[in-house]
Structure 1
Amino acid sequence: MLRECYCVCRNFSPKHLVFLVIAFSTVYLVLLKYTASSELSHVKTASPLRHEIKANAARPLHVLYESDPKELEIARQTLNFLNNVGDVVEAKQTLKTTLTTLPGGDCPDPDSVPDLWGSLPQAVLLIENLQEADVSSVHPELKPGGEWSPSDCKARHKVAIIIPFRDRQSHLTRLLDFLIPVLQRQRLDFRFIVTEQFQYGNDLFNKGRIMNAAFRFAETLNVDCVIFHDVDMFPQDDRNPYSCPPGPRHMGAFVSNLGYQLWYKEIVGGVLAVSMEDYRLINGYSNMYWAWGGEDDDMGKRILSLNYTIERPDPETGRYSMLKHVKRKRTAPKLIYKLLEIAEKRVAYDGLNETGKWTIRKISIRPLYYHLYVDVGSVPDEWREKKS
């Protein structure tokens, strides 16, 4: 930590140097206390030679667990002090200072472009109440729907990031703010599709159906592949390419709350990239899982049953931080296990090729994403909890 502080501070005046060492040490000790046992315990931060921690006095800090307000106030005051030091620049992940102009032609592969940072700063995940308008104002170069493509070369991949969404606006805004500069540095032609269950209220969630509906919408955008991206998954390294893979690629294989371990071969949850052709052959996600859980493992079984190899990134560059959230109770676990036992047998008839399982009721084209509202039909009685 002291070595990293030295790298950042060596160009400052002696007076600023003393204050910065004290300030960074205070922030480090406070954050260490509240994240040592959390999902962010092994998170890496990017080299201070390339950027500084993103600090903004207008955005309150939010630690993922209950915490001491007095010590949080100390951390907040320290970060405010850093904002007021003239030589410290707020390091928003913007296009303005990060992209090298390329000579034209085809863009380099996303894992070999010149502007990658490597390890990404994770302190920004503590920022709360970030508004979509804030992100839009930082990225006026985006077209409606969050579309962007490089102007200095031709992108090799045209990608749609599909984000299943329910009740996590703070996570969604932070994810968009985090991913946009990563995708720009990788020189991708990208857009975002947020898919939400229409008028769900307190009803059970069907993640498979809203993702199949989003894929059908992505087909109208003429993309090469889709990346299904949970709203609480944040990459720790931008050398994990968000490009179109030759086969299904489980990008979110090594996650903080799972100890960065791959627990079983079928796992494909979190972040999954797949070409349009492969998704059709796999027949998309199952439409049969309600509430939370099952559809991702079912997808893994589908992929393997069709003799695909599930590609995964390097364990060092393929790490993700998962934001803490209130976990919903798994409904009807026995039904889930029964469906998983015969997952391979249902590939041909349960999935993307079914009709009448979903209807896109509304499409809102927002500055940062396409927002789909999907009617998934009524919940079968066997999935509802029986009240005594």
Structure 2
Amino acid sequence: MCQARLELCQRAQVLRHRAEVKCLHLLGFTQCLSSPNNSQCFFYNKKYQKKQDKPQLLIAATEEQVRSVDVVQQSKNIGVAEREHDIKDPVELEIARQTLTFLNMEDAVTKPKPHVKIAQEDGSCPAVERIPDLQGALPQATLLIQNLQEGEVHAVHPELGPGGSWKPNDCQARDKIAVIIPYRDRQTHLTRLIDFLIPILQRQRLDFRFIVTEQYGNDLFNKGRIMNAAFIFAESLGVDCVVFHDVDMFPQDDRNPYSCPPGPRHLGAFVSNLGYQLWYKEIVGGVLAVSMADYRAVNGYSNQFWAWGGEDDDMGQRILSLNYTIERPNPETGRYSMLKHVKRKRTAPKLIYKLLGNSANRVAYDGLNETDKWTIRKVTTRPLYYHLYVDVGPVPEEWRAKA
């Protein structure tokens, strides 16, 4: 029960501006999980903080009160009605409404779902499209949570092993995957993404772990090199395939399969900020699943793109040049929300377009086989992910001059 309330507290934190949520865990997360009567969520009006030491409590949402229609109605009055005067973005307002709907947790708290037999006759897990307990369309309210801490996520998911690893216990996983997340300066996005993906990958009955690959130092970014380094590390873990996943991409439906594909699969094809349109055939950015053999066949990502832009389009051209078909999900189930962030312009567009003009010709010599282009300086095994620090070498002068 406490875990359900912890999730309620986390999800409800999106009520900002005049109405906010504080979760008080009187004995801390670990003890709370074993002592379910010591956690409450309090809704309070932020403006009272400046007038008195203790905020005026408007709602104390305990396990019993969460199921009360009055609580839901009051929270709507406090949350949505007042937020409508503060928020102009209709998408953000809809996310707030979804969050308030989540407050009616009667089914989640008091009516556990009946056990569904998952394993097939041979004990293996079914293909993702045949798993009966997927949810379909996913609420996007959690995207507004700020400052979610790694310790909070791990407390809610104590079942995870080192590096955020997990495998199902009700069937034999078909696929062992590694989710590779290229990272720089977006800690709040990273924690939210992992928190969001964990239950999806668990429902899909995948044997998974997370690898966060970060460039050492603050020089011009080289995404291709840190991806290649992470792939080499993933090979050492014995995975069947990798899913390259941008830190700001959140799936809108758990029927979009993160399992190992027969050929390169562009999961992140239909994205909110692109109007859910597929703009050109080579696009593979955002979220890309690929088997270990196929990644080696295309020689991984190019090592020659610096700063921002170009390496994903180059990868798409590599894939097509070797006569692969880029698989994409159903446009309805394959949608993603992209978190808002500061857009970075392409640093050297002329250099990028020149490289893209001969992508197919560089496959043989520019990529994964150039292991001297990067060095993994440090690997840290954290509760939620493996953290790689990758030295990508010196920046070529022609790129630095354009920076």
- How much does 1:183 deviate? 0.2
| Higher helix content, 1 or 2 | 2
Whole-Å Cα distance in 2 between the matches of residues 42 and 282 of structure 1? 42
Q: CA 1:126/1:99 → structure 2, altered by over 3 Å: closer, same or farther?
A: farther
Q: State yes or no: 1:242 paired with 2:258.
A: yes
Whole-Å Cα distance in 2 between the matches of residues 360 and 335 of structure 1? 27
CA contact (8 A) 2:378 2:390 kept: yes
What's 2:72 paired with?
20
What's 1:251 paired with?
267
Q: CA 1:103/1:278 → structure 2, altered by over 3 Å: closer, same or farther?
A: closer
What's 2:216 paired with?
198
Q: CA 1:220/1:247 → structure 2, altered by over 3 Å: closer, same or farther?
A: same
Aligned runs of 1:321-332 on 2, under 5 Å? 321-332=337-348
Q: State yes or no: 1:151 paired with 2:151.
A: no
| Higher strand content, 1 or 2 | 2
**Of 138, 160, 180, which aligns to 1:120?**
138
CA contact (8 A) 1:291 1:331 kept: yes
**Residue 177 of structure 1: SS of its match in structure 2?**
helix
Q: CA 1:261/1:33 → structure 2, altered by over 3 Å: closer, same or farther?
A: farther
CA contact (8 A) 1:332 1:384 kept: no
**Residue 361 of structure 1: SS of its match in structure 2?**
strand
Aligned AA (1:346): R
CA contact (8 A) 1:45 1:119 kept: no
What's 1:110 paired with?
128
Aligned AA (1:17): V
CA contact (8 A) 1:357 1:376 kept: yes
| More displaced stretch, 326-335 vs 160-169 | 326-335
CA contact (8 A) 2:118 2:131 kept: no
CA contact (8 A) 2:178 2:241 kept: yes
- How much does 1:242 deviate? 0.4
Alpha-carbon displacement from aligned partner over 1:185-219 (angstroms, at most 9, x marks no partner): 000000000000012x2x10000000000000011
What's 2:42 paired with?
none
Alpha-carbon displacement from aligned partner over 1:160-194 (angstroms, at most 9, x marks no partner): 00000000000000000000000000000000000
| More displaced stretch, 103-112 vs 209-218 | 103-112
What's 1:214 paired with?
230
- How much does 1:385 deviate? 3.5
Q: CA 1:302/1:98 → structure 2, altered by over 3 Å: closer, same or farther?
A: farther
Whole-Å Cα distance in 1 between the matches of residues 107 and 375 of structure 2? 44
- How much does 1:41 deviate? 8.7
Whole-Å Cα distance in 2 between the matches of residues 275 and 348 of structure 1? 19
What's 1:66 paired with?
none
**Residue 382 of structure 1: SS of its match in structure 2?**
helix
Aligned AA (1:20): V
Whole-Å Cα distance in 1 between the matches of residues 260 and 85 of structure 2? 37
- How much does 1:16 deviate? 3.9
Whole-Å Cα distance in 2 between the matches of residues 283 and 132 of structure 1? 34
**Residue 188 of structure 2: SS of its match in structure 1?**
helix
Alpha-carbon displacement from aligned partner over 1:296-352 (angstroms, at most 9, x marks no partner): 000000001111110000000000000011122321111001000111111111000
Whole-Å Cα distance in 2 between the matches of residues 32 and 258 of structure 1? 28
Whole-Å Cα distance in 2 between the matches of residues 282 and 35 of structure 1? 45
Whole-Å Cα distance in 2 between the matches of residues 247 and 32 of structure 1? 49
Aligned runs of 1:312-323 on 2, under 5 Å? 312-323=328-339
Aligned AA (2:207): D
Alpha-carbon displacement from aligned partner over 1:234-254 (angstroms, at most 9, x marks no partner): 000000010000000000000
**Residue 384 of structure 1: SS of its match in structure 2?**
helix
TM-score by length of 2: 0.77
Aligned AA (1:121): P
Q: How many residues align?
A: 334
What's 2:277 paired with?
261
- How much does 1:110 deviate? 1.6
CA contact (8 A) 2:221 2:307 kept: yes
- How much does 1:23 deviate? 3.4
What's 1:170 paired with?
188
- How much does 1:24 deviate? 3.5
What's 1:135 paired with?
153
Aligned AA (2:320): L
Where structure 2 has 5 or more consecutive residues not aligned to the other structure, the ranges are 1-63
**Residue 158 of structure 2: SS of its match in structure 1?**
coil
**Of 277, 296, 309, which aligns to 2:293?**
277
CA contact (8 A) 1:125 1:174 kept: yes
Aligned AA (1:332): A
Aligned runs of 1:90-105 on 2, under 5 Å? 100=116, 102-103=118-119, 105=123
Aligned AA (1:222): G
Whole-Å Cα distance in 1 between the matches of residues 164 and 114 of structure 2? 19
- How much does 1:37 deviate? 6.1
Whole-Å Cα distance in 2 between the matches of residues 270 and 255 of structure 1? 9
TM-score by length of 1: 0.79
- How much does 1:36 deviate? 3.4
Q: CA 1:91/1:351 → structure 2, altered by over 3 Å: closer, same or farther?
A: farther
CA contact (8 A) 2:96 2:141 kept: no
Q: State yes or no: 1:185 paired with 2:203.
A: yes
Q: CA 1:301/1:364 → structure 2, altered by over 3 Å: closer, same or farther?
A: same
CA contact (8 A) 2:95 2:141 kept: no
CA contact (8 A) 1:44 1:121 kept: no
**Residue 356 of structure 1: SS of its match in structure 2?**
helix
- How much does 1:19 deviate? 5.1
CA contact (8 A) 2:264 2:324 kept: yes
**Of 361, 365, 376, which aligns to 2:381?**
365
What's 1:57 paired with?
none
CA contact (8 A) 1:52 1:91 kept: no
What's 2:41 paired with?
none
